[in-house]
């Protein structure tokens, strides 16, 4: 199935329960990225794609023998990060399930070139990605567990080094023609490959030379203090829609239709929300004792997190219950 097929399917899927247009756009991108993540995690040879349409669409494919493995024995980071915590106090004789606290943690650190801003980022169980932009200039950094190879492109590769690790410098031209793309690919640790892609070799080198495997916190990520027992984060990211999205389902690779969607937004929560792709809207109730508001059908919950941030939690299928959705919105915070 092509990206266009995935896009059409995502836009038409469950239209009567779709979120507002911004959410539809964000979740369409999420669906494509997460579908690729599942294929990467379940196949010996899969496909890895940089989620940067302007620069690197279709450039990356997994399982080529890359540069010789570095001797650095650094444990590759995994994300999202989960730590054990107890969500509430148990009464005498009562034992409550332990719930994991969750954060969006990138498994690497880098220095952005002067003038560049974060355009979008995402963290999944099998890949982490950051896009940086300055006008029409763009740089993408992608961390994956297996070696990448070029696909659908013509080009050449030259040996080089990045921070002491053997690497490849690739110049790629799309088979159909178009701008040349530059990639630096290296393995900083066993089970960890990094690819930096840009239209400029100088920009790619600048970012690549700054990358270390020190975990870092992406901007405007939001936070979830705890998850209901039995649920896990399958995606955490921020895209062009200007909001952070978290997909929470029964496991790390659950289909997005089985996940609850948690969106972090700036500003003040509205009095009504869009409930379908056709623009249908529903009013929100008055805040309850916990500050939670809901649509008449209870499938969308909204809470003002602080003066400048609010969150919206939406149900997918019955894989996440209404009670679990409430736990999620109550655990959400802006920082």
- Domain membership flag for residue 247: yes
- Domain membership flag for residue 245: yes
Residues 115 and 64 in one domain: yes
How far, in Å, CA of 48 to CA of 65, rounded? 14
Peptide bond before residue 42 is cis, with ω within 30 degrees of 0: no
CATH number at residue 179: 3.40.1000
Nearest CA to 60 among 165, 197, 168?
Answer: 197
Residues 203 and 134 in one domain: yes
pLDDT-derived band at 335, boundaries 50, 70, 90: confident
- Domain membership flag for residue 328: yes
How far, in Å, CA of 218 to CA of 109, rounded? 10
3-state secondary structure of 192: strand
Cα angle 242, 274, 7 (rounded to 5 degrees) comes to 60
Q: Which residue has the higher pLDDT, 308 or 54?
A: 308
Residues 64 and 176 in one domain: yes
Residues 296 and 176 in one domain: no
Q: Which residue has the higher pLDDT, 74 or 231?
A: 231
pLDDT score at 40: 37
| pLDDT for 265 beyond 60 | yes
pLDDT-derived band at 59, boundaries 50, 70, 90: very low
- Domain membership flag for residue 185: yes
Residues 205 and 234 in one domain: no
Residues 64 and 174 in one domain: yes
Residues 196 and 250 in one domain: no
The phi-psi region of residue 192 (left if phi > 0; otherwise alpha if psi is between -120 and 50; otherwise beta) is: beta
Q: Look up residue 267 and give its two tokens.
A: 């500003």
Which residue among 187, 216, 245 closes a domain?
A: 216
Q: How many domains does the chain have?
A: 2
Residues 160 and 289 in one domain: no
**What one-character DSSP code corresponds to residue 106?**
B
Tens of pLDDT, residue by residue over 162-211, are: 999 999 999 888 877 778 899 999 999 999 999 999 999 999 999 999 99
- Domain membership flag for residue 97: no
Question: Is the separation of the CB atoms in 273 and 310 below 8 Å?
Answer: no
Question: Is the separation of the CB atoms in 311 and 262 below 8 Å?
Answer: yes
- DSSP H or E stretch at residue 139: strand 137-144
Which residue among 200, 216, 232 closes a domain?
A: 216
For 11, 15, 48, 148, the CA distances from 40, given in Å and listed in that order, are: 23, 28, 7, 11
Residues 61 and 179 in one domain: yes
Nearest CA to 31 among 258, 199, 189?
Answer: 258
Residue 170 sits in which domain range? 53-68+105-216
pTM to 2 decimals?
A: 0.71
pLDDT score at 156: 81
| pLDDT for 58 beyond 80 | no
- Domain membership flag for residue 121: yes
- DSSP H or E stretch at residue 7: helix 3-12
- Domain membership flag for residue 169: yes
pLDDT-derived band at 317, boundaries 50, 70, 90: confident
Residues 59 and 185 in one domain: yes
- Domain membership flag for residue 7: no
Residues 110 and 163 in one domain: yes
Q: Look up residue 152 and give its two tokens.
A: 């659908």
What distance lies between CA 241 and its chain's CA centroid? 13
- Average pLDDT of the chain is 76
């Amino acid at each position: 199935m092509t990206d266009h097929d995935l896009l059409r399917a995502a836009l038409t899927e469950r239209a009567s329960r779709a979120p507002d247009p911004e959410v539809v756009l964000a979740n369409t991108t999420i669906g494509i990225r997460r579908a690729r993540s599942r294929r990467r995690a379940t196949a010996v040879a899969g496909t890895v794609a940089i989620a940067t349409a302007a620069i690197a669409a279709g450039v990356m494919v997994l399982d080529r023998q890359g540069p010789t493995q570095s001797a650095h024995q650094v444990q590759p980071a995994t994300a999202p990060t989960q730590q054990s915590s107890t969500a509430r106090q148990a009464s005498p004789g009562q034992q409550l399930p332990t719930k994991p606290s969750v954060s969006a943690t990138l498994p690497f650190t880098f220095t952005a070139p002067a003038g560049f801003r974060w355009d979008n980022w995402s963290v999944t169980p099998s890949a982490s990605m950051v896009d940086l932009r300055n006008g029409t200039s763009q740089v993408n950094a992608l961390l994956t567990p297996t070696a990448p190879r070029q696909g659908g492109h013509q080009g050449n590769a030259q040996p080089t080094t990045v921070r002491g690790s053997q690497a490849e410098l690739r110049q790629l031209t799309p088979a159909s023609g178009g701008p040349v793309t530059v990639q630096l690919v290296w393995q900083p640790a066993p089970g960890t490959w990094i690819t930096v892609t840009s239209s400029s070799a100088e920009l790619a080198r600048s970012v690549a030379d700054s990358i270390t495997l020190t975990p870092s916190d992406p901007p405007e990520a939001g936070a979830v203090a705890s998850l209901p027992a039995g649920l896990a984060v399958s995606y955490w990211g921020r895209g062009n829609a200007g909001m952070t999205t978290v997909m929470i389902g029964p496991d790390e690779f659950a289909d997005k239709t089985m996940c609850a969607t948690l969106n972090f937004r700036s500003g003040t929560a509205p009095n009504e929300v869009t409930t379908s792709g056709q623009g249908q809207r529903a009013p929100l109730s008055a805040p309850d004792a916990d500050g939670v508001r809901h649509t008449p059908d209870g499938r969308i919950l909204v809470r003002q997190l602080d003066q400048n941030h609010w969150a919206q939690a939406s149900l997918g299928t019955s894989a996440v219950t209404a009670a679990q959705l409430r736990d999620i919105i109550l655990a959400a915070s802006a920082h």
